[in-house]
Chains A and B, each alone.
Chain A
């Protein structure tokens, strides 16, 4: 992207040029926090009305909010923070977006160019610190580069495998006049991601799929990133072929959960049928997922007898951990279009009898009902966390509901029991596993969708990591609903300590918790609490009805664990089922498995 062929218009300041470039890139919202180095940009923001600035209470939250905004709209999220601590506070959010392929542009202030390297006040080597935390980053040293770099940053963030881009802006560059040029679609000098798949690879893939007896489609976040049309085509392809389909944590919503061909989520806490189908398949089609260690379990024993087709926009994901037979590099949308066309064109008849037999086998696995749990409905009974999620799902069905989560047991229960029919409605920190993600992400979703129901499914430990954003919710009247599954433990840590560390609950008890009802009230919101099973539906109904930020403190069974579970280092067919199932036992974890996270 090089705009030099256009004549430039000189803007009064770099800050004004930046705002104009942001508008040209379609930015309507910036999440940020001011400070000395970015004051010129804040001054320019003050003097215009087209871009809305949402003032967060911590820079990490600005990045997560932009992630929520980006993932729920398909647009590039935009962040503005100051130099030094502003930038370093943003780093966790940047890595989160990098791991989950979320398009962001983060503008960071920097000390003036003549002070760089002098250990100036609020100076940090932002490009150095964020180099491995971003898809790409820039330090603007000349005013004539400024606008080109901003346009290029958006291009890099949104194309190919999306990701976060940092633009570091010295204060003198923000003050000095700068030339403005409109963005033009010119090929980048060195960055040219491949989006169109190789037709020969598509034919090879279809040839394998047509001749398969035990196929499975394994779809991930790449399908969601490719836009809603890609999810529609995934659904079309799965129905066309009659294949079973499983989604990764990041891919939930890419295929409708209510569809009979959906096996649920796979991986460490995936369903019995999804994991055993992955283990036993003869042809696997991976679209937009990356064989994450949470999905594969022990690599050497991962789906040992299958031919593997891997469609990914990032060539470095191919053969990274799992060696595949047919690699397809390209955008999920283009690949799905090509697969559907090639499937229809290939006249090889499908072995329908074999497929029917495969479904029979899957139905046997399904009949295990691996997500089964028992909720005592007698008044006064303790609430099971799974039941809380199911009731929440039932109460919100039919609405345009967006769900974010924090990280831990509640996140897995949300993934297992909340059913997503559409993409872009489920926001969770998958790769990095960032506690504190859910509340700011929900904030960003609510800003983008003011009339939608936005729920952060949280744990009592995670929510405290960015609880200050309650203040932001109040300021902008964002009626985000925080649904805390409060088991008074860092539940996933406690679960691992129970199963793997002899029940020594080192530092995992949530001591000295706040009164969440009063806490909500002190932040100008509404606090609700459900202590017994007979409180639950009323609390959920009230939470949904209130047009204000709400914290619903759901007191749940402290002892409940997330099942099924593939212990670290175990293969898919050595899954632990819950206490409801015969033969439930503590895992036999090897020393090698214990060393895994």
Chain B
């Protein structure tokens, strides 16, 4: 592994849904100096016993292997899956508030339509859009909205899953 190039990795971590488990994962990243680009977490079992954490990180191949091994040895971790090793889907959701009047309002609506963003709230001076998609799509939309009156963004971070029949367990 002489490869020192940085790469992005999307890692799914299935964990026991107990108190402190998210702190363990975050503490591991900060304590060992790994990056977190995005992190999402929510219970995924019907009885709430397991949660799924999706973390997007960057590092050399060696560092990413370390991150996976370090995650895997945490006691409440069931499974670690590096989705970026194969075909996978990743999505995030953003709520985007745009302020403006006149022509800028019309432009905001046109752009939203092109990106299939939904208007979920409107006043005479504002729109709030809901947009779902891959990270780069959200980024592109926000870049276009900036001159139109982008005022505030709330993003969920990435949720991801492998394509095809492959599952985490």
A residues less than 8 Å from B65 (CB atoms): 319
Contact between A128 and B66, CB atoms less than 8 A apart? no
Contact between A128 and B23, CB atoms less than 8 A apart? yes
Q: Which of B15, B19, B31, B62 contacts A132 (CB 8 A)?
A: B31
Contact between A132 and B27, CB atoms less than 8 A apart? yes
Interface size class for chain A?
A: 20 to 34
Contact between B1 and A319, CB atoms less than 8 A apart? yes
Contact between A139 and B78, CB atoms less than 8 A apart? no
Given A132-B27, A189-B16, A189-B78, A316 and B1 contact (CB-CB distance below 8 Å): no
Judge whether B24 is part of the interface by a CB distance below 8 angstroms. Answer: yes
Taking the nearest CB of chain A, how far is it from the CB of B62, in angstroms? 6
Q: Which of B1, B20, B72 contacts A127 (CB 8 A)?
A: B20
Given A190-B76, A190-B78, A320 and B66 contact (CB-CB distance below 8 Å): yes
Contact between B27 and A139, CB atoms less than 8 A apart? no
B residues less than 8 Å from A46 (CB atoms): none
B residues less than 8 Å from A190 (CB atoms): 15-16, 75-78
B15-35 near A? 1/0 per residue, CB < 8 Å? 110011001100100010000
Contact between A315 and B72, CB atoms less than 8 A apart? yes
Q: Give the complex CA separation of A131 and B72 in angstroms.
A: 16
Taking the nearest CB of chain B, how far is it from the CB of A315, in angstroms? 5
Contact between B66 and A136, CB atoms less than 8 A apart? no
B55-94 near A? 1/0 per residue, CB < 8 Å? 0000000100110011011111110000000000000000
Contact between A318 and B75, CB atoms less than 8 A apart? no
B residues less than 8 Å from A127 (CB atoms): 20
B residues less than 8 Å from A320 (CB atoms): 66
Taking the nearest CB of chain A, how far is it from the CB of B31, in angstroms? 5
B residues less than 8 Å from A132 (CB atoms): 27, 31
Taking the nearest CB of chain B, how far is it from the CB of A260, in angstroms? 37
A residues less than 8 Å from B19 (CB atoms): 139, 141
Contact between B62 and A319, CB atoms less than 8 A apart? yes
Judge whether A156 is part of the interface by a CB distance below 8 angstroms. Answer: yes
In chain A, positions 139-153 with a C-beta closer than 8 Å to chain B are: 139, 141
Q: Give the complex CA separation of A318 and B62 in angstroms.
A: 10
Q: Which of A136, A141, A319, A323 contacts B75 (CB 8 A)?
A: A136
Q: Give the complex CA separation of A139 and B62 in angstroms.
A: 34
Interface residues of A: mostly helix, strand, loop or mixed? loop
Contact between A323 and B69, CB atoms less than 8 A apart? no
Judge whether A410 is part of the interface by a CB distance below 8 angstroms. Answer: no
Query: From B78, which residue of chain A is reached at the shortest CB distance?
Result: A190
Q: Which of A131, A188, A315 contacts B27 (CB 8 A)?
A: A131
A110-146 near B? 1/0 per residue, CB < 8 Å? 0000000000000000011001100111010100000
Taking the nearest CB of chain B, how far is it from the CB of A110, in angstroms? 14
Q: Give the complex CA separation of A161 and B74 in angstroms.
A: 12
Judge whether A314 is part of the interface by a CB distance below 8 angstroms. Answer: yes
Q: Give the complex CA separation of A139 and B23 in angstroms.
A: 14
A171-190 near B? 1/0 per residue, CB < 8 Å? 00000000000000000111
Judge whether A191 is part of the interface by a CB distance below 8 angstroms. Answer: yes
Taking the nearest CB of chain B, how far is it from the CB of A113, in angstroms? 12
A residues less than 8 Å from B78 (CB atoms): 189-190
Q: Give the complex CA separation of A335 and B14 in angstroms.
A: 30
Given A190-B15, A316-B69, A323-B1, A135 and B75 contact (CB-CB distance below 8 Å): yes
Q: Give the complex CA separation of A139 and B69 in angstroms.
A: 25
Taking the nearest CB of chain A, how far is it from the CB of B79, in angstroms? 8
Contact between A131 and B24, CB atoms less than 8 A apart? yes
Taking the nearest CB of chain B, how far is it from the CB of A317, in angstroms? 8
Query: From B23, which residue of chain A is reached at the shortest CB distance?
Result: A131
Contact between A315 and B69, CB atoms less than 8 A apart? yes
Taking the nearest CB of chain B, how far is it from the CB of A157, in angstroms? 11
Taking the nearest CB of chain B, how far is it from the CB of A464, in angstroms? 31
Query: From A141, which residue of chain B is reached at the shortest CB distance?
Result: B19
Q: Give the complex CA separation of A315 and B1 in angstroms.
A: 17
Q: Give the complex CA separation of A225 and B15 in angstroms.
A: 28
Q: Give the complex CA separation of A148 and B12 in angstroms.
A: 29
Given A131-B27, A132-B31, A319-B62, A139 and B75 contact (CB-CB distance below 8 Å): no
Given A319-B65, A323-B1, A191 and B27 contact (CB-CB distance below 8 Å): no
Contact between B75 and A156, CB atoms less than 8 A apart? yes
Q: Which of A128, A141, A315, A319 contacts B73 (CB 8 A)?
A: A315
Query: From B70, which residue of chain A is reached at the shortest CB distance?
Result: A316
Q: Give the complex CA separation of A85 and B27 in angstroms.
A: 23
In chain A, positions 20-50 with a C-beta closer than 8 Å to chain B are: none
Query: From B20, which residue of chain A is reached at the shortest CB distance?
Result: A127
A152-163 near B? 1/0 per residue, CB < 8 Å? 000010001100
Taking the nearest CB of chain A, how far is it from the CB of B109, in angstroms? 47
Taking the nearest CB of chain A, how far is it from the CB of B22, in angstroms? 11
Q: Give the complex CA separation of A565 and B66 in angstroms.
A: 30
Q: Which of A139, A160, A319 contacts B66 (CB 8 A)?
A: A319
B124-163 near A? 1/0 per residue, CB < 8 Å? 0000000000000000000000000000000000000000
Contact between A323 and B62, CB atoms less than 8 A apart? yes
Q: Give the complex CA separation of A443 and B78 in angstroms.
A: 39
Query: From A127, which residue of chain B is reached at the shortest CB distance?
Result: B20
Q: Give the complex CA separation of A137 and B24 in angstroms.
A: 10
Q: Give the complex CA separation of A131 and B31 in angstroms.
A: 11
Q: Give the complex CA separation of A73 and B20 in angstroms.
A: 33
A residues less than 8 Å from B72 (CB atoms): 315-316
Q: Give the complex CA separation of A109 and B19 in angstroms.
A: 18
A residues less than 8 Å from B76 (CB atoms): 190-191
Q: Give the complex CA separation of A156 and B76 in angstroms.
A: 11
Taking the nearest CB of chain B, how far is it from the CB of A308, in angstroms? 13
Contact between A318 and B69, CB atoms less than 8 A apart? yes
Taking the nearest CB of chain B, how far is it from the CB of A108, in angstroms? 15
Q: Give the complex CA separation of A137 and B75 in angstroms.
A: 9
User: Which of B69, B77, B78 has the most chain A CB atoms closer than 10 A to its own CB?
Assistant: B69
Taking the nearest CB of chain A, how far is it from the CB of B16, in angstroms? 5
B residues less than 8 Å from A160 (CB atoms): 73
Taking the nearest CB of chain B, how far is it from the CB of A158, in angstroms? 13
Q: Give the complex CA separation of A178 and B78 in angstroms.
A: 29
Give chain B's interface residues, CB within 8 Å of chain A: 1, 15-16, 19-20, 23-24, 27, 31, 62, 65-66, 69-70, 72-78
A-B contact pairs, 16 of them (CB 8 A): A127-B20, A128-B20, A131-B20, A135-B75, A139-B19, A139-B20, A160-B73, A161-B73, A189-B16, A189-B78, A190-B77, A190-B78, A315-B73, A316-B73, A319-B65, A323-B62
Give chain A's interface residues, CB within 8 Å of chain B: 127-128, 131-132, 135-137, 139, 141, 156, 160-161, 188-191, 314-316, 318-320, 323
Among all A-B residue pairs, the 9 with the closest Cβ atoms: A316-B69, A136-B75, A190-B78, A191-B75, A315-B69, A316-B70, A132-B31, A190-B16, A323-B1
Additional A-B contact list (8), CB under 8 Å, known A139-B19, A316-B72: A128-B23, A131-B20, A131-B23, A156-B75, A188-B75, A189-B16, A314-B73, A315-B72
